Amino acid sequence: MSPCADTETGCTLSAMIFAAAALALLLVSEGGPSPDHRPMSPVPERVSFHNGSVTLVGSLYLPGTTGRHPGVVAFHASNGGTRDYPAYRHLATALPAAGFAVLLFDRRGSGESGGDFETATFQDLAADGLAGVLYLKSRADIDPVRIGVWGVSQGGWLGPLAATMSRDVAFVVSVSGPGVTPAEQMNYSAAYALRSAGESPAVIQRALRVRAAVDDYFRGRATRRVTEQAVESIRHQPWFEQVFLPIGDSLPGDPKHTKWYSQMDYDPLQVLARVKVPIAFFFAETDPWVPVEESMTLVRRATRNNPNVTIRRVPRTGHYMEVGADGPVSNDYLTRLLQWLRRTAGMSR
């Protein structure tokens, strides 16, 4: 499934694999992480908590100091459902070294957690993360008024949503969270893939017309027969797999009971406009899954009434803040992230 921020159902229209290695560094000063002082990942504590009847299992990473620590709960990328996903690894090392507790958990239906991901809404997933926030609040070693959320890709939508659902969220970090709907984001991804493969503007427009036809079918605006014909018209093109579409006979008979129908037109901007707590956005320099310039403009507009908003585009990074293909997490990103977290949590240098 795709590492994009779109819904998992949107990702069932595609098949992409991403592997990101994360390097966590200790922030020894406001100047940035030191490559000569890299902390070891603390020994995690296995924990479990509940959202209704769903049991969620995770790992809690604590700083090696006494007292009540600020905490961070991580929300997942669409194809990173388990707590050991590489894109989260830097949280388990760099944040505890900077004084933050970090809760990584297996998404419902993944790893050791119960529940069914395929039927989960964005609200369900946000509520799962909030159950993690409540768990942290119950602990004597966590400061209950300094618990925030971090999310990457699809998690960059879920974190802000969680903040609108509960007053227990003190701050939000969104990494590569698109400022457009899942349907628009997938169209961008398809066009990016085709353009990168050297296809002509005419091919890109043709592919997007077929994607629009499929989306119309899911919205109930087109018949299955017409949609299957549209898909069949390009199915044998050499670039078909880069358009992230099913073959015609795999279209669902009742699209209104699919996850893509319920989430394709999700508007993240309406949610962001309701977020009142401090929020930081990090965007990649080059991202095949997120229209970065458009997202930054839209996010800035949606959050204009929030007095504590930070929006950063990190040079030389990809979707997961990695440097280069399969490279380490960006030192620049880590520096900015830890500086913002410490400042927002009211921590001294």
Q: What is the pLDDT of residues 260-277, one digit of tens each?
A: 999 999 999 999 999 999
3-state secondary structure string across 288-332: CCCCHHHHHHHHHHHCCCCCCEEEEEECCCCCCCECCCCCCECHH
Q: Taking the alpha carbons of 43, 65, 329, 153 in that order, is the dihedral positive or negative?
A: positive
Phi/psi of residue 60, each to 5°? -105, 125
- Residue among 96, 77, 83 nearest 27 (CA): 96
CB neighbourhood size of 342 (10 A): 18
Q: How far are the Cα atoms of 47, 92, 132, 174, 263 from residue 115, in angstroms, in the given order?
A: 17, 25, 15, 25, 19
Instruction: Tell me what the pLDDT averaged over the chain comes to.
Output: 89
**Average pLDDT value for residue range 71-84:** 97
Structure tokens at 205: 């427009």
pTM above 0.85, yes or no: yes
Phi/psi of residue 184, each to 5°? -65, -35
Structure tokens at 170: 């003190």
DSSP state of 152: E
Q: What's residue 326's pLDDT?
A: 80
Structure tokens at 175: 């990494």
Element of type H or E holding 282: strand 279-284
Q: What's residue 19's pLDDT?
A: 28
How is the beta sheet containing 54-61 ordered, strand by strand? Answer: 45-51, 54-61, 101-105, 69-75, 142-152, 172-175, 279-284, 309-314
Structure tokens at 95: 């944040």
pLDDT in tens, 102-119: 999 999 999 999 999 999
Q: What's residue 12's pLDDT?
A: 36
Q: Among 257-261, 270-274, 335-339, where is mean pLDDT lowest? A: 257-261
How confident is residue 347, by pLDDT bands cut at 50, 70 and 90? Answer: confident
Q: Is pLDDT at 9 greater than 70 in this prediction?
A: no
How confident is residue 33, by pLDDT bands cut at 50, 70 and 90? Answer: very low
Angle, to 10 degrees, between the axis of helix 182-196 and the axis of helix 201-218? Answer: 150
Q: Among 39-43, 67-71, 191-195, 233-237, where is mean pLDDT lowest? A: 39-43
Q: Helices (DSSP H) in the chain: which residue ranges?
A: 8-11, 89-97, 122-137, 155-165, 182-196, 201-218, 224-232, 259-263, 268-272, 292-302, 331-344
Rounded to whole angstroms, the Cα distance separating 19 from 8 reads: 17
DSSP state of 40: P
Rounded to whole angstroms, the Cα distance separating 64 from 96 reads: 8
Structure tokens at 242: 């880069």
pLDDT in tens, 184-213: 999 999 999 999 999 999 999 999 999 999
Q: What's residue 71's pLDDT?
A: 98
The structure tokens 């299955």 sit at 224
**Average pLDDT value for residue range 152-171:** 98
Q: Is pLDDT at 41 greater than 90 in this prediction?
A: no
How confident is residue 58, by pLDDT bands cut at 50, 70 and 90? Answer: very high
- Residue among 323, 310, 339, 330 nearest 31 (CA): 339
Q: What's residue 40's pLDDT?
A: 60
Q: Is pLDDT at 150 greater than 80 in this prediction?
A: yes
Q: Is 3:77 a contact under the CB 8 Å cutoff?
A: yes
Q: Is 78:7 a contact under the CB 8 Å cutoff?
A: yes
